Copies of this chain bind each other. A is one copy, B any other.
């Protein structure tokens, strides 16, 4: 059986970025298969990719012939298959906290600002670009305000989202902060998020996963 890891990725996808961080934290080598979300109407809509993921979203991870979808489910798989270093703490209550932080990004911020949603706003309702960007900043702001409260007010927060080792919540947070910077969100009200982001980006696993370090990044 082919045990290699192949990641269908797009350099600027938040969800793919999460999985790249996870693979790097585990020290796993993988091949990148770029899926260009904008070229030719979007390569994610073409039959070849659609067969791998009927949702037509990146990332997809292939491992041993199995096709895996959904970034957080992929990260859990990585953590169960290669337990060291762990992405989740051992205590069920602490695991709950870390997963909830990751889901606050992955459910309640990112899907609202995903490419397909912005395309709907533009094509179906002709929402002008400034208002689309206001929409993006609104949902990031809603989510970040809650996350700042949850992180700043909890002694379980350490150098990273949970304690002093990076984990699942950091895999979700850092790409979302990248996206916030891209869309001009004022990060002043979220000092804890920025502090954790900076601590993460100082680690090679995060730096190498950055959109700016991807092979499919335009020159």
Chain A residues within CB distance 8 Å of chain B: 53-57, 66, 68-70, 72-74, 76-77, 80-81, 92-93, 95-97, 99-100, 102-104, 106-108, 110-112, 116-117, 120, 125, 127, 131, 135, 138, 142-143, 145-147, 149-150
Which residues of B are found within 8 Å of A147, using beta-carbon distances?
54
Q: From A70, A77, A106, name the one whose CB has the most chain B CB atoms within 10 angstroms.
A: A70
Copies assembled = 2
Which residues of B are found within 8 Å of A96, using beta-carbon distances?
66, 68, 73-74, 76-77
Assess A56 versus B99: contact at CB under 8 Å? Given A104-B70, A125-B127.
no
Bound complex: CA A57 to CA B150 (Å): 14
Docked-complex contact B69 and A95, CB < 8 angstroms: no
Assess A70 versus B149: contact at CB under 8 Å? Given A81-B92, A95-B77, A120-B138.
no
Q: Which residue of B lies closest to A76 (CB)?
A: B99
Which residues of B are found within 8 Å of A138, using beta-carbon distances?
120
Docked-complex contact A108 and B108, CB < 8 angstroms: no
Q: From A99, A116, A125, name the one whose CB has the most chain B CB atoms within 10 angstroms.
A: A99
